[in-house]
């Protein structure tokens, strides 16, 4: 009886260890990803996006590589489209499309066989492309982003992701001092939904 119990214990330990090692091997085998998604943006506080942009929906694409163990480094491009509610606040232009190219660093974390977390931090140049009839001009600045991306794994190479992202834009827009922060310090949440292709 003791021999049988010992064999069962050893079998259980071996099976558990094997399954764990297989899971770790599977996670570590991910070299990188390419993702595609849509985004919707909600301004926070008293700024141009929250008060005067309408629409605020766009797309994003990204690419990342596993550079050391599960540390991820990559790039991301996002764009969202807006119409202007009150033209008198912004100098009469009617549309403004916000583009953001960011360099990202993050970490790949396995929560279960079907849930993977890739929290990332991004920073890079941002541009508000403003249009007024046939006239186009840009406001530029630097943006930062915090992206806690959760992935639902469909297969080894395919996942659906959701990323509630916080963004802060530090713009260089020329404006009177009394309204400067309205244009220059822009806080908002960007909700992303899309697909990840792992390789």
Interval 134-171: pLDDT, tens: 888 899 999 999 999 999 999 989 999 999 999 999 98
Q: What angle do CA 35, 188, 158 make, to 5 degrees?
A: 15
Quick one: CA dihedral 39, 42, 47, 53, positive or negative?
Answer: positive
Distance (Å, whole) CA 79 – CA 38? 9
14 falls in which pLDDT band (50, 70, 90)?
very low
User: What's the confidence (pLDDT) of residue 28?
Assistant: 45
Residue keyed to tokens 């558990």:
16
Q: How many CB atoms lie within 10 A of CB 75?
A: 15
Distance CA 150, CA 143 (A): 22
| Confidence band, pLDDT 50/70/90 cuts, at residue 2 | very low
pLDDT for residue 179: 66
User: In the predicted model, is pLDDT for residue 192 greater than 60?
Assistant: yes
Which residues contact residue 133 at a Cβ distance below 8 angstroms, ignoring those fewer than 6 apart? 94
Tens-place pLDDT, residues 17-62: 444 444 444 444 579 999 999 999 998 888 887 887 887 899 999 9
């Amino acid at each position: 009886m003791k021999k049988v119990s010992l064999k069962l214990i050893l079998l259980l330990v071996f099976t558990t260890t094997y399954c764990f090692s297989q899971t770790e091997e599977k996670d570590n085998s991910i070299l990188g990803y390419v993702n595609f998604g849509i985004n919707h943006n909600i301004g926070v506080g008293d700024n141009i996006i929250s008060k005067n942009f309408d629409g605020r929906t766009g797309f994003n694409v990204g690419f990342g590589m596993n550079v050391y163990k599960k540390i991820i480094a990559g790039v991301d491009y996002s764009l969202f489209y807006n119409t202007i509610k009150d033209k008198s606040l912004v100098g009469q232009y009617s549309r403004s499309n916000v583009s953001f190219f960011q360099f990202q660093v993050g970490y790949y974390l396995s929560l279960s066989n079907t849930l993977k977390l890739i929290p990332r931090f991004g920073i890079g140049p941002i541009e508000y492309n403003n249009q007024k009839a046939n006239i186009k001009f840009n406001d530029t600045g630097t943006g930062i982003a915090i992206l806690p991306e959760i992935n639902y794994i469909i297969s080894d190479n395919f996942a659906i992701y959701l990323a509630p992202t916080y963004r802060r834009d530090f713009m260089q827009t020329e404006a009177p001092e009394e309204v400067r922060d309205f244009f220059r310090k822009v806080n908002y949440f960007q909700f992303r939904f899309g697909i990840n292709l792992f390789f």
